[in-house]
């Protein structure tokens, strides 16, 4: 009876350790430097930088470029994306898009939404920020897709299961050899 209780304790400890390990590995793979293309409109860098500093954001880089390869009909087309700013607040990194004009931060404006959606999907940032210069407002943009199940979703559970079973197997083997 004591061996059964001890075995269950090993299983629970193994599951807890496996879950913690999976959490840290998932966060490691999610971390990427987010970048977004400039809107092409003129803006005062000093004005934007002072606004960001007042809002509590630390500027990590300006005009950062990232290469992109688009494959159309088997032929690669090289291009790049250029971020207006990459900023950090706390431990989270954000891509800053500077917009101005009448429909600067309108989520129903298709061109802005497509642009933000593309970069959110490609770079997986912690969040996107849209700075509306005409109004002096900073908007945080996050996309959610209900019912999204792709190969990455199933791969994460496969890896978690493998790690948990490996930890349980190691604990069982140590218990079987009476090393614990």
Q: Which fold has domain 33-141?
A: Lambda Exonuclease; Chain A (3.90.320)
Q: What does the pLDDT profile of the chain (180 residues) look like in tens digits?
A: 666 677 777 887 888 887 787 777 777 665 443 333 344 445 578 888 888 898 899 998 888 777 788 899 999 998 887 878 889 999 998 888 888 765 556 667 788 888 888 777 666 778 888 888 777 888 888 887 776 677 777 888 899 999 999 999 999 988 888 876
List the chain domain ranges: 2-28+148-176, 33-141
Token pair for 179:
């090393």
Which regions of the chain does DSSP assign to beta strands (E)? Answer: 58-62, 65-72, 75-82, 85-89, 92-99, 127-132, 137-141
Quickly tell me which residue has 């990455």 as its tokens: 152
Whole-angstrom distance, CA of residue 57 vs CA of residue 155: 35
Instruction: Give the predicted TM-score (pTM) of the model.
Output: 0.54
């Amino acid at each position: 009876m004591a061996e059964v209780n001890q075995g269950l304790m090993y299983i629970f400890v193994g599951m807890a350790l496996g879950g913690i390990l999976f959490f840290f590995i998932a966060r490691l793979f999610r971390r990427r430097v987010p970048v977004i293309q400039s809107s092409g409109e003129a803006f005062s860098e000093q004005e934007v930088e002072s606004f960001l500093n007042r809002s509590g954001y630390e500027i990590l880089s300006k005009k950062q470029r990232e290469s992109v390869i688009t494959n159309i009909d088997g032929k690669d087309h090289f291009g790049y994306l250029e971020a207006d700013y990459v900023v950090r607040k706390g431990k989270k990194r954000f891509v800053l898009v500077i917009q101005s004009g009448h429909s600067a931060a309108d989520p129903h404006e298709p061109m802005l939404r497509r642009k933000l959606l593309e970069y959110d999907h490609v770079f997986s940032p912690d969040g996107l920020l849209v700075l509306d210069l005409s109004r002096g407002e900073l908007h945080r943009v996050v996309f959610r897709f209900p019912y999204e199940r792709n190969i990455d979703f199933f791969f994460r559970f496969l890896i978690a299961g493998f790690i948990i079973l490996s930890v349980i197997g190691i604990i069982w083997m140590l218990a079987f050899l009476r090393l614990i």
